Structures are given as structure tokens and as C-alpha cells.
Chain A
Amino acid sequence: MSERAVAVAFVVSILAALGLTAVYAAGGDPQVEGALLLLALGGLGVGLLGWAGGLLAHLGEHTEPRRRHPAADGDGDVAVATFEAGVAEVGRRRLLARLLAGAVAALGLAAVFPIRSLGSAPGSQLARTSWRRGVRLVTADGTPVQLGALELNTFTTVFPEDDVGSADAQAVLIRVDPTSLQLPPDRLAAAPQGHVAYSKLCTHAGCPLGLYLAATQELRCPCHQSTFDVLRGARPVYGPAPKPLPQLPLEVGPDGTLRAAGDFTEPVGPSWWDLPR
């Protein structure tokens, strides 16, 4: 770059930077600020690059020796000998050396324990949710779900009445034609008048299943496209999910609202090591 071009770059930078202060004082505007920052910083950078590449080109390239990395000068051997002599000197007092090692190990052990404070024990939390027999199903805004209120072949997200928004108890309630459900008798009985509920947590990576494909009556996970057959016990028919969605057994309360008849048939979400089977 010529001297003139470098000068132009610096002038652009100065003007853009002054413009920035004006824009800020006037209340700011992200787009204008971005454009001016590009010019202010870019002008400075281009000017410097032009200066180094063009105006200083006459300085040319230099050559200097590389620092060698010889292993042959013996320094390493001397260092090893010094270290080992020290170890031998310290190690002569065997009892003390062993006690020292013991003290370090014991301290290390003691230092590990506070890690336990970082979280609660998994225990049975993972295997249970807050659904219990008799708990009413409510939607995200807390409204109880009446039997028959849901349109045929549509779905809604439901929670236990006392745990709205729950991450593990969330369930999808779908109303289908009762004669189309292909479930074992006990699970069919837990789907009154075609109201069938499954855990909303995908058994692959635990994403909430947000998509109901009404035409094929399948639930699909928006994250990795695992697909579950609603009519056949939500068994996986496509994608990376390895096992069916647990079913939430339902019953109808005296006030005509849908209620849980117990917790899910299986632990919800993806599998883990201690998964009760």
C-alpha cells in the first residue's frame, strides 16, 4: 500500500470513531454502531497492515539461526542425576518418607469429600415422578382436564395439579378413537374413552416431545426426530430412541375430571445404569 492509502485508512478510522461517539450520544443504534466499528477498527487494522507490508517492505527478510534442541550436551543427564541423588537422600529416612506419602494421600482423600456437596444423591428421584393415584391432570395454565373436553385426535401437555411445569412429570394427553388403541388389557383400561397419556420426555436424550403427527397418530421429538406410535403403546417406530414412552395410567374422577391412577409404568426419560428393570 502507498503512503496515501495508509493515510486514507487512518482518516476513515478517525472519522468512524468520532461518528461512534456521536451515535452513542444520540441514543445508539446497533446497525450504525456495527458499521462504524467495522470502519473504525478495520481502518486502523488495514492502515497498519499496509504500513507493515508496503511502507516497511524495504526492510526485507532477515535470517537468524534457530535455537537447536540438542540432547547431547549432557545437561539432561546431570539434571536426572541431581534429582535422583535428592530422592535417594530424602528416601534414606524410610519411615518419614512413608509418613509423608501417607499424609499427602490422607489430605487428598479428605479434599475429595466436599465434591459430594455439589448435588443431592440420585437415589430413587430419577425413577419416580410426582404423579400419584387421584391427582388431577391440569394443563400448563393450571386448568383441570375434563373427560371429553379434548377434541378427537389432538393432544395437550398435562401436569399433576400440584406440580405444574414439572420437568419429569410432564405428560402428553392424546384423545384417539378407543377402538383403534392396541394395548394390553390393563393398559387399555388406563386409557378411559381413548384418552391415553404418555411421558413427554423422549427416551433418547430427554427432549420434550413437541410434535404430534395427527395423520399417522405418531409423536415426534423435535430434537432428533425419534418417532413413537401412539396407538401401540408409544413404541419407537423411527429414529434414535431405544424404548417406548412410559404410559401414565388414567382414571375418571367423580367430578368428571381426568386423574392419574398412579405413577408412570416405567421411569421416564433416557436410560441410565441403575435403571430398575
Chain B
Amino acid sequence: MIVERVVRGLDERLDGGSFLRRNLTKVFPDHWSFMLGEIALYAFALLVLTGIFLTFFFQASPEPVVYDGPYAPMRGRTVSAAYDSVLRLSFEVRAGLVMRQTHHWAALLFMAAVVAHLLRVFFTGAFRKPRELTWVLGVLLLFAGIGAGFTGYSLPDDLLSGTGLRIIYSGVLSIPVVGAWAAFLFFGGEFPAHALLSRLYVLHVLLIPLVIAGLIGAHLALVWRQTHTQFPGPGRTEDTVTGIPVWPRFALKALGLMFVTWGVAAGLGGLVQINPVWLYGPFVPYSAPSPAQPDFYAGWLEGLLRLWPNWEFHLFGRTIGTLFLPAVVVPGVITFVLALWPWIEERVSGDHAAHHFAQRPREAPVRSGIGAAGVAFFTVLMLAGSNDVLAAFLSVEVDTLNGVLTAAVVVLPIACGLVTYRICRDLRDGGGHPIARPGRARVRRTAAGAFEVEHEPGGPAR
């Protein structure tokens, strides 16, 4: 049989037999929350597949052309070759629009899965020794993903993406000492430079995907080598791992999850319109769309820019631009704290031991409180990134809403953190939910040897 011949061939040449023997029976713990990272992996694979298709049609060129395709409202307008190629890909290439929209949805799915996975790992303490490096690779993946998303939605050269690029350019410009040089070298000159689109294209289809693939490979290799964490349970110990073997159950399950992920992304890609660049129009430097929101994973950055006070500093007769703090320093500090979190927690808690059991959030009330505060912080910033839309929706002035959001970005994280800390502590110490009385069952053995069960249902706390 073919499999037998291949395995024997590998075994004779590479000693592959023992590798396969060990790894086909390797055990992976089974819990629904462990599949979040897998979804990100499958979304990335779909991004590569759909992305390759898109590269055959997209032209990363700012050269002006007159659009003469089937989309009537744009016919006769002078647009860039890049924008023209996206319109042609969307309206003239068969299955082109589905591929393009699936690509965009898969990107959102990738980022959502990465964020959910990060939260799961954080709240269960799965990043603790010996898995700190896996965590750092994951944080790098998060930021590589933001970079991939940003360069990706800048490529169609539409009005929305051009405005986003202009803001990034201004952020780079604000860096003390080297800002102007950095902006001119990265963007190829004063905005909007001719070289920019082809640069973003190389970043988006070559450099960043390579970085992401490398990070994913290293991340998975570490998970494979160090074994997965698991929740405590009957028969489970720190020294053993209990779960389902790679072949056949885990493999079938993983493949199944992959196809479901792809199905959801492709279903959204065909049925739910996303980034309709023909409605935004081509980029011109003297116009900006309103309202304009970035994709969700950049919403917190946008919110920071909208809420940050109009401070500008002068130092030795030089200027520190107003964007430097909210666009460079604050995101930089957040990145560092997030990446170094395993060591910060190790230092503060004094717990230097290796752990293979994942925790329930209640078992680490301080960490859970900090995590909840972080979630509240990012949520408020994300809302602030859409303050114009939100204000219109709530029929209030943007000015009024900004006041509320500015207060909320400080108060809400503290409140959420404290409440979460208290709930977790009570749960840990009391063993039950603080606002509910646990149900009980009384089991009695009769004289005949049978068991009688008497249930007392739970309910609101007395």
C-alpha cells in the first residue's frame, strides 16, 4: 500500500517511523475553548488561498486610468490603476467578488479568533511557566495581524484607506527627532508619494505573511513540544496529559473545524457586503469620508486619537506633535506590558513554578480583575473610535458623548476590575456564585441497598 511504502521509505532514510509513531498517538486535551487558536490558524490558511487568487488580478499602481467597466456611477472617472483593478476584480472577474469579500471576512475572523484566544489564555493562566515564549509569539502575531489588516485595506486606494494612511503618516511624523525622516523613508517621500502602493503591496503579500507564517510555525511547534495545558479533573495530573490522540479523532475534528471556519468566512463573503470601495470612491487627497471607521481591531487606536487631549509639547525649541503620545507611546506601552505579562505576573506573585493545569478565572482574582479592566478599557476606546456614528445613533452631540466616554475610559476599567476581583474572590472562597444559592442533592441509601435522591434546587441568594 502507498502509505506503507512512504512510511517505510521515510523510516529507512530519516528515521521518520519513530517520529510518526510518537506523534500519531500524541494526546491533545479537549475543551471548547482550546479551539479558538485553531480557528485563527484556519482563517490564516484561507487568507493565503484567497489572497493568492486576488494577486492575479490586483495591480498595485497609482497610475491614473479612466474607468470604463460595468459599474455605471464610476464610468468615465479618472481613478488609479489599483482602484480600477479592484473594481474589475469585483464586477468582471467571475467569483472575484466572493474571493475578495471572503478574504476580508477571513481577516476579521482571524483577528477576532486571535483576540478571543488571547483572552482565553490570559484568563486561564495558560501563559504561565513554561509557556511564556508561546505567549510572546502570540502577542507578536496579534500585532502582525493588525499590520496585515492595515496594509490590506489600504491597497484598494479608495477614499477610506487613503484617509487611514494619511493618519498613520501623521503619527510617524510626530515621533521626536527622527519623525520626518522615518515618515519620508517609509512612505517614499511627502504624502502621498508615488512609491507607497507598491510598498504596501510587498509588505502585505510577502513580508507580513512570511512573518505571520513563521510566528505561527514557532507558536505551534512550542505547543506541540511542551504539550497543551488542561483543566483539572478526575484522573488528571500535572505530570500527565489526558485527551484525544492525533489520529484519527483529533485530526478529523481539526479538519472539521477548518471546513466550518472556511464555510462561515465564505458564506459571509458571498452574502454580507464588506468594504464596498465603489461606494467610497477613489482616493483624492482633498476629501475624506464621513463617518469613517477602521476595521474593528484598529478601533481602539482610533478611539485613542479621538479622546486624547489636544496637548502639544515644546522641548529645547523643538516640537513634540500631538499624535506622539496617543499614536506611538500609549500603544507601545500597551504592547510591552502585554508581551511581558507572564514575567510581570511571575515577579509580582512570586510564583516561579511550572504549571500545566489551566486555571479557572476565579482562582486568580487579581489577574481576572486586571483582565476585566483591560477588556473594559479597549471596549470604551472602540466605542470612542465610532463616536460620530454612536452620537448620531443616540441623537446626542458628539461633544457630550466624548465627555461621557472620556470619563468612562478611566472609571469603567476600575469599576469592572474591582467588581470582577470581588466576584472571583467570593467564588474562590465560597465555592458558589455570589448572587445565586447552589442547588443541592441529598442521597440516601435505603435498607434494601437502593439510592434515593432528593433535589433541592438553587436560586437567588437569601
Would B319 and A38 count as touching, CB distance under 8 A?
no
The tally of residues in A whose CB lies under 8 Å from a CB in B reads 85
Would A115 and B185 count as touching, CB distance under 8 A?
yes
Would A236 and B310 count as touching, CB distance under 8 A?
yes
Would A204 and B240 count as touching, CB distance under 8 A?
no
Q: Which residues 4-45 of A sit at the B interface, judged by CB distance below 8 A?
A: 24, 27-28, 30-45
Beyond A69-B354, A240-B309, is A205–B323 a contact (Cβ under 8 Å)?
yes
Would A225 and B388 count as touching, CB distance under 8 A?
yes
CA distance A45 to B204 in the complex (A): 29
Q: Which residues of B contact A109 (CB under 8 A)?
A: none
* Shortest distance from the beta carbon of B314 to any chain A beta carbon, whole Å: 8
* Shortest distance from the beta carbon of A18 to any chain B beta carbon, whole Å: 16
Would B243 and A61 count as touching, CB distance under 8 A?
yes
Q: Which residues of A contact B171 (CB under 8 A)?
A: 205
Would A32 and B270 count as touching, CB distance under 8 A?
yes
A168 part of interface (Cβ distance < 8 Å)? yes
Q: Which residues of A contact B177 (CB under 8 A)?
A: 273
Q: Which residues of B contact A118 (CB under 8 A)?
A: 185-186, 188
B213 part of interface (Cβ distance < 8 Å)? no
Would B240 and A63 count as touching, CB distance under 8 A?
yes
Would B321 and A38 count as touching, CB distance under 8 A?
no
* Shortest distance from the beta carbon of A17 to any chain B beta carbon, whole Å: 11
Q: Which residues of B contact A44 (CB under 8 A)?
A: 256, 259, 263
Which interface residue of A36, A68, A222, A238 has the most chain B CB atoms within 10 A? A222
Binary contact track A210-244/B, C-beta < 8 Å → 1, others 0: 11000000000111111000000000101111110
B172: nearest chain-A partner, CB-CB: A272
Q: Which residues 93-119 of B sit at the A interface, judged by CB distance below 8 A?
A: 94-95, 97-98, 101-102
Would B240 and A239 count as touching, CB distance under 8 A?
no
Would A38 and B163 count as touching, CB distance under 8 A?
no
* Shortest distance from the beta carbon of A244 to any chain B beta carbon, whole Å: 11
Beyond A64-B240, A223-B288, is A272–B253 a contact (Cβ under 8 Å)?
no
Would A24 and B264 count as touching, CB distance under 8 A?
no
A253 part of interface (Cβ distance < 8 Å)? no
Would A207 and B235 count as touching, CB distance under 8 A?
no
A252 part of interface (Cβ distance < 8 Å)? no
Would B287 and A49 count as touching, CB distance under 8 A?
no
Q: Which residues of A contact B238 (CB under 8 A)?
A: 66
Would B319 and A206 count as touching, CB distance under 8 A?
no
Would B319 and A273 count as touching, CB distance under 8 A?
yes
Binary contact track B303-322/A, C-beta < 8 Å → 1, others 0: 00111111110100111111
A249 part of interface (Cβ distance < 8 Å)? no
A210: nearest chain-B partner, CB-CB: B288
A270 part of interface (Cβ distance < 8 Å)? yes
Q: Which residues 217-274 of B sit at the A interface, judged by CB distance below 8 A?
A: 225-227, 235-236, 238-245, 248-250, 252-253, 255-264, 266-272
CA distance A180 to B244 in the complex (A): 79
CA distance A205 to B302 in the complex (A): 11
Beyond A37-B266, A223-B167, is A167–B191 a contact (Cβ under 8 Å)?
yes
Would B270 and A62 count as touching, CB distance under 8 A?
no
Q: Which residues of A contact B185 (CB under 8 A)?
A: 115-116, 118-119
Would B239 and A66 count as touching, CB distance under 8 A?
yes
Selected interface stretch from A50-58, A92-100, A146-154, A182-190: A50-58
Beyond A45-B261, A62-B242, is A204–B267 a contact (Cβ under 8 Å)?
no
Beyond A210-B290, A272-B180, is A67–B167 a contact (Cβ under 8 Å)?
no
The residue that A204 contacts in the complex, of B242, B271, B322, with Cβ under 8 A, is B322
Would A205 and B188 count as touching, CB distance under 8 A?
no
Would A41 and B322 count as touching, CB distance under 8 A?
no
Would A53 and B285 count as touching, CB distance under 8 A?
no
CA distance A114 to B79 in the complex (A): 33
User: Which B residues form the contact surface with A (CB < 8 A)?
Assistant: 25-27, 30, 94-95, 97-98, 101-102, 130, 163, 166-167, 169-171, 173-181, 183-193, 195, 225-227, 235-236, 238-245, 248-250, 252-253, 255-264, 266-272, 284-292, 305-312, 314, 317-323, 354, 356, 387-388, 398-399, 402
**In the complex, the 8 A-B pairs of residues with the closest C-beta atoms, listed nearest first:** A34-B270, A38-B267, A45-B259, A48-B256, A42-B263, A41-B263, A45-B260, A222-B290
Further 18 A-B residue pairs, CB within 8 A, beyond A38-B263, A118-B186, A121-B184: A33-B95, A34-B271, A35-B267, A61-B242, A66-B238, A66-B356, A116-B185, A118-B188, A121-B181, A122-B181, A165-B284, A167-B191, A222-B388, A224-B306, A270-B321, A271-B321, A273-B319, A274-B319
